[in-house]
Amino acid sequence: MLLYKEVLRFWRVAFQTIAAPVLTAVLYLLIFGNVLTRQSMPGYEGVTYVAFLVPGLVMMSVLQNAFANSASSLVQSKIMGNLVFIQVTPLTYWHWYVAYVGASIVRGLLVGLGVYAVTLFYAPAHVAAPLWIAVFAFLGAALMGALGLLAGLWADKFDQMAVFQNFIVMPMTFLAGVFYSVHNLPGIWKSLSHFNPFFYMIDGLRYGFFGVSDSSPWLSLAVTTGSFLAVTLLVLHLLKTGYKLRQ
């Protein structure tokens, strides 16, 4: 029921939570795609820049919206004071985790599907390995849903949540190769990109679309899975101890 409530929360304002992010991604595609539409990407034989941009925009939309869903829901409940009504239920910390992260996965994947559907009007469909696409899209949404839950537990107001989003999530997403290949970066920046877990999520999804990527898909899977498990264990511990929930 908590999962249903969380899904219903964003679905009732779908124009804002689903349609608006899709429009934002399409604007990125139109602006960057029109400027560099004829350019081919090095290392991606026969792939135009517009087509190269699609997986990055899809994953960026998935990650940002999955994070925003769990983080904003928990912070909003804290501010409005209705969190107590969930706390008096016999739900365990596992139930909380599944509900909040599960709803984030649903929202993230819906936005990602919406972005991909619209981009089909601007770039031909490339699907080399659909299973890899599904795995990275799901893991990316789950990781960011858990990270959003962590931010929601830590933050007591929207300003604090915005700090987390604007200074961590947004920069790491934009510097993860959404709009470029890391092969185009100079030495030091290329090396630093490989320490960004967001890079592996986007690169892994790009492998599912084109069958080529800047790093091994198995390495991307290992880094993404490891990051997801690490954040999950931390969030479960905080939920179990009632961190900032029993004040």
- Print pLDDT tens along the chain (247 aa): 899 989 998 999 888 889 988 888 888 777 776 655 555 566 677 778 888 888 999 999 999 999 999 999 999 988 888 888 888 888 899 999 999 999 999 999 999 999 999 988 887 778 899 999 999 999 999 999 999 999 999 998 888 888 888 888 888 888 888 888 777 777 787 788 888 999 999 999 999 999 988 889 999 999 999 999 999 999 999 999 988 886 5
71 and 64 Cβ atoms separated by less than 8 Å: no
Look up residue 81 and give its DSSP letter: T
147: Cβ contacts below 8 Å, ≥ 6 apart: 67, 169, 231
pLDDT of residue 247: 59
Map out the domains of the chain as residue ranges: 2-241
pTM, to two decimals: 0.90
pLDDT of residue 33: 63
Cα–Cα distance between 41 and 63 in angstroms, integer?
Answer: 24
Residues linked to residue 40 through DSSP beta bridges, in sequence order? 48
pLDDT of residue 38: 54
To the nearest 10 degrees (0 to 180), the angle between helices 49-80 and 130-154 is: 30
170 and 141 Cβ atoms separated by less than 8 Å: no
49 and 40 Cβ atoms separated by less than 8 Å: yes
Query: 172: exposed, middle or buried (C-beta count within 10 Å: 0-12, 13-18, 19+)?
Result: middle
